[in-house]
């Protein structure tokens, strides 16, 4: 399936997006330090007022002959900072492996979000001096309230199929699809239920679309933003072709 950049979709006044993300993974020089990344905030403190360390954790499993596998969990270590602009519902991450911008609910629209990411990426490049860009991603996390007892196909066109010999209602599931695109991009679609709200008679369907592409680009290459635009088109196509007409009407 190919995704046309000229595709247009309706504007949703009540879009179910809880978080929109643009992520740029990069290779930095070995001399880049956390205090250097902290300078991302310099000059924009009135906008991004809050700063927190971002902690990372990697575990590994060691296999040894005649012994049970051993899970090694090292201590948490900082790998960057989170900078929050609460009035704009934005969170920027400046990390030792790249940059991320998140827009929290309420979402506005994609073109504005890309411009904000481009502006802040330039700031990151000036401070962190990345060598290469390795991966680009555009991701939306959607939350769709599903009435208890309703058929999931009232809301989404792609979902788990239960044998007709079994009860058709469920309160939990997890589904993950990886969909390639001829352009070299791909998308991960994840669907799962959140926490049941018995009082409201609903359960949230978390519908997560992560469109990404592995690249080898210079940090200021215009191709970065062309590809991000194409990933946005891919993400939009997947969303609008996965949601039912009935569900879309509730988001207009």
Strand (E) positions, 41-110?
50-56, 60-62, 70-72, 77-85, 90-95, 98-104
CB neighbours (10 Å) of residue 227? 21
> What was the pLDDT predicted at 60?
61
For residue 247, what are its two tokens?
Answer: 């569900």
> What was the pLDDT predicted at 3?
38
For residue 135, what are its two tokens?
Answer: 């991966």
Block mean pLDDT (10 aa), the chain, length 252:
54 91 97 95 95 74 68 70 96 97 89 95 97 98 91 90 82 93 96 90 95 98 97 95 92 88
213/155 Cα distance (integer angstroms):
28
> What was the pLDDT predicted at 5?
43
> What was the pLDDT predicted at 76?
66
In DSSP terms, which residues pair with 61 in a beta bridge?
71
């Amino acid at each position: 399936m190919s995704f046309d950049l000229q595709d247009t979709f309706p504007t949703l006044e009540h879009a179910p997006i809880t978080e929109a993300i643009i992520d740029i993974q990069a290779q930095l020089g070995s001399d880049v330090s956390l205090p250097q990344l902290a300078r991302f905030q310099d000059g924009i403190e009135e906008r991004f007022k809050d700063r927190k360390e971002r902690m990372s954790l990697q575990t590994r499993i060691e296999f040894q002959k005649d012994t049970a596998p051993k899970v090694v969990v090292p201590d948490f270590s900082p790998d960057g900072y989170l900078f929050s602009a609460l009035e704009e519902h934005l969170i920027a991450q400046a990390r030792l492996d790249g940059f991320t911008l998140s827009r929290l609910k309420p979402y506005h629209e994609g073109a504005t979000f890309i411009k904000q990411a481009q502006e802040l990426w330039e700031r990151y490049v000036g401070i962190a001096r990345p060598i290469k860009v390795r991966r680009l991603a555009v991701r939306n996390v959607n939350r769709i309230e599903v009435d208890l007892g309703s058929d999931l196909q009232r809301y989404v066109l792609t979902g788990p199929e239960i044998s007709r010999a079994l009860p058709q209602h469920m309160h939990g599931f997890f589904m993950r699809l990886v969909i390639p695109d001829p352009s070299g991009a791909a998308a991960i679609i994840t669907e799962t239920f959140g926490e049941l709200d018995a009082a409201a008679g609903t359960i949230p369907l978390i519908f997560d679309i992560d469109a990404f592409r592995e690249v080898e680009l210079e940090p200021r290459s215009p191709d970065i933003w062309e590809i991000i635009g194409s990933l946005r088109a891919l993400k939009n196509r997947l969303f609008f072709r996965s949601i039912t007409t009935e569900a879309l009407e509730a988001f207009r």
